[in-house]
Structure 1
Amino acid sequence: MAQGIAGSLADSQVRLVGKPAYWDEACAQLMRRDRILRKLIPQHGEHWLQHQAPAFMTLARSIVGQQVALRTADQLWQRLLERCGQPLSPAALLALSPDELRALGLPKRKVEYIHDLALHFDARKIDPQAWQAMPDEAVVADLCAIRGVGRWTADMFLIFNLHRPNVLPLDDAGLLKAISQHYFSGEPVSRFEAREVAQAWAPWCTVATWHLWRSLNTVAVRY
C-alpha cells in the first residue's frame, strides 16, 4: 500500500523463488556496519525475500493498496480476485465495466488506474521481460509512465518482483516508522534523516528495508 508497509498476495498468486544470491553477503555486511541491523537480522535468519507474483499482478495489487490501510487493501484485492478470477489477467479486468469495478469498493480514480494498467499490458505497450536487464531508474521511468504508478509503486515492484538489492523506498511510511522506532527513539523522521541512516546500507538497501519491515511484525512481507 502506498505510504505503508508492503502487503501480501493470495498464496495461489505467488511463487517461491530461491534466496537471492546476494542475500547472505548483504546480511553479513549490514550486521558489521549497523548496530540496529546486527540485532534485527538474526531474528529472521531462516527467512528472506522469496515471493514473486506476475508483473501485472504486482502492479495491480500496489495500485489497489495505495493510500489505504493494509486490511482495507487486502479486502479490496480479495474482492477483485473473486470477481475476476485467479490469476488476475489484463483481459479479465478489462472485461469489467468501470461501474462493476466501483461496485467492489474501488474508488473512481483507482478504477481508472488499474484499467489503464491493464490496457498497457493487453496492448503490449510495455515489455516486462525487458525490465530484467534494465537499470533500476530506467525501470522506474517505464513504470511511472503508466497512470497511477508513482515512485512508491515502482520501488515496490523493484523489490518484490525484480528483487533488486539496493532499493530504498523513502515514500514508504512503514520504513520511516521502523527507522523512527529503532534509530530515533520513536521521534518522527524526515526523508532526509532516513536517507542519512541508510547511507551505511548501500548497496543492500533492499535487505535492510525488508528486515526493518519485519521488525514491525509484518508476517508476510511481499507484493
Structure 2
Amino acid sequence: MDLTIDPALAHLMQEPVMARIIAGTPHPKPAVDWAGDLYLALLESIVSQQISIKAADAIFRRFRDLFPDQYPHADALLVKTTEELRSAGLSFQKISYLQSVATFTLENRLDHAFVNTLADEDIVQYLLPIKGVGRWTVEMLLMFVLDRPDVFPVDDLVIRQRMMRAFPDETAGLTGRALIKKLQHLAEPWRPYRTLASRYLWRWTT
C-alpha cells in the first residue's frame, strides 16, 4: 500500500504499536451509516441496544414499516400508540427512548448545517439529555454517521481489551479511571486519526 496517498495511515504507522496492528489487519471498509441522517441513526441505535444485530435489524424494519414512507418522522412517531409500537417488537423502555428522540428532534436542531458547526465533545453533551443515549452511543454516531476522524471510544469494552493487549506493560495492574487515563494517553500519538486507529483495533485479532 502506498502510504503517501493516505495521510491517516502514514501518520498512524509512525507509532510502532499501531504500525504492527495495521500491518497484520485488513484495512477497514468505509462505514458511514444512514447517509448522515443523525435522527434516524439515533432511533436505530436505541432499537439495537442489548440485542443481537439480526434481531435489531428485524425490529427496526418492522418499526419503519409502521410509517407510510418507512420513515418515522418525529411528529408521526409521537402519535403512534404504545400498542402499535409494541407490535414491532419494541419494549416499553425502548418506546420511551424513541419518543424521547422524537421530542428532542422537534425541539432542537439535528440538521447538518448546525451539527457540523459543533466540536465532537459539544455534540456528545448536546445529545446526552436524550433518554437512552449515552456517551458510547454518541461516539459511535460521531464515527459512523458523522464521519468524524478523531474519536477514541475509550468506554468501548473491545477497545479497552485490545489496547491492554497491545500495551501489556503500560497497562498492567491498572483499573478504573487510572486505566482510562492511561489508554487515553497511549492513544494521543494517533491524533488526529483516532477513529481509524479504533477501527483497526476492532478488527485486530492477533
Common topology (TM > 0.5): yes
Secondary structure, aligned partner of 2:201: helix
The two structures have a TM-score, normalised by structure 2, of: 0.76
Q: Which moved more, 1:203-212 or 1:79-88?
A: 79-88
Q: Say yes or no: does 1:100 pair with 2:84.
A: yes
Say if 2:141 is the partner of 1:175: no
Q: Are the counterparts in 1 of residues 150 and 195 from structure 2 also a CA contact under 8 Å?
A: yes
- Are 1:211 and 2:200 matched, yes or no? yes
CA distance in 1, matches of 2:168, 2:71: 42
Q: After TM superposition, what 4+ stretches of structure 1 lie above 4 angstroms from structure 2?
A: 180-185, 187-190
Q: Per-residue displacement from partner, 1:149-173 (whole Å, max 9, x unpaired)?
A: 2111111121122211111112222
Letter in 2 for 1:79: R
CA RMSD of aligned residues (A): 3.0
More helix by share: 2
How does 1:68-83 map onto structure 2 within 5 Å? 68-83=51-66
Larger Rg computed on CA atoms: 2
Letter of the aligned partner of 1:208 in structure 2?
A
State the match for 1:6 in structure 2. none
| Equivalent position amino acid for 2:46 in 1 | I
Q: Which moved more, 1:195-204 or 1:34-43?
A: 34-43
Report the 3-state secondary structure (helix = DSSP H, G, I; strand = E; otherwise coil) of the residue aligned with 2:148.
Answer: coil
Question: Are 1:28 and 2:10 an aligned pair?
Answer: yes
Give the Cα–Cα distance (whole angstroms) in 2 for the partners of residues 130 and 40 of structure 1: 35
Structure 1 window deviating more from structure 2 (24-33 vs 173-182): it is 173-182
Residue 41 to residue 53, structure 1, CA distance change in 2 (3 Å): farther
Give the 3 Å change call, closer, same or farther, for CA 41–86 of structure 1 in structure 2.
farther
Q: Larger relative CO (CA 8 A, sep 6+): 1 or 2?
A: 1
Q: Distance in 2 between matches of 1:212 and 1:72?
A: 26
**Matches of residues 179-190 of structure 1 in structure 2 within 5 Å?**
179-184=163-168, 190=179
Tell me, in whole angstroms, the C-alpha distance in 1 between the residues paired with 2:19 and 2:66: 42
Alpha-carbon separation, structure 2, partners of 1:91 and 1:65: 22
Unpaired stretches in structure 2, ≥5 consecutive residues: none
Distance 1:109 1:50, change over 3 A: closer
Contact 2:143–2:151 under 8 Å retained in 1: yes
In 2, Cα distance between the equivalents of 1:209 and 1:197? 12
> Unmatched 5+ residue regions in structure 1?
1-22, 217-223
Q: Percent identity?
A: 29
CA offset at residue 65 of structure 1? 1.8
Amino acid at match of 2:199: W
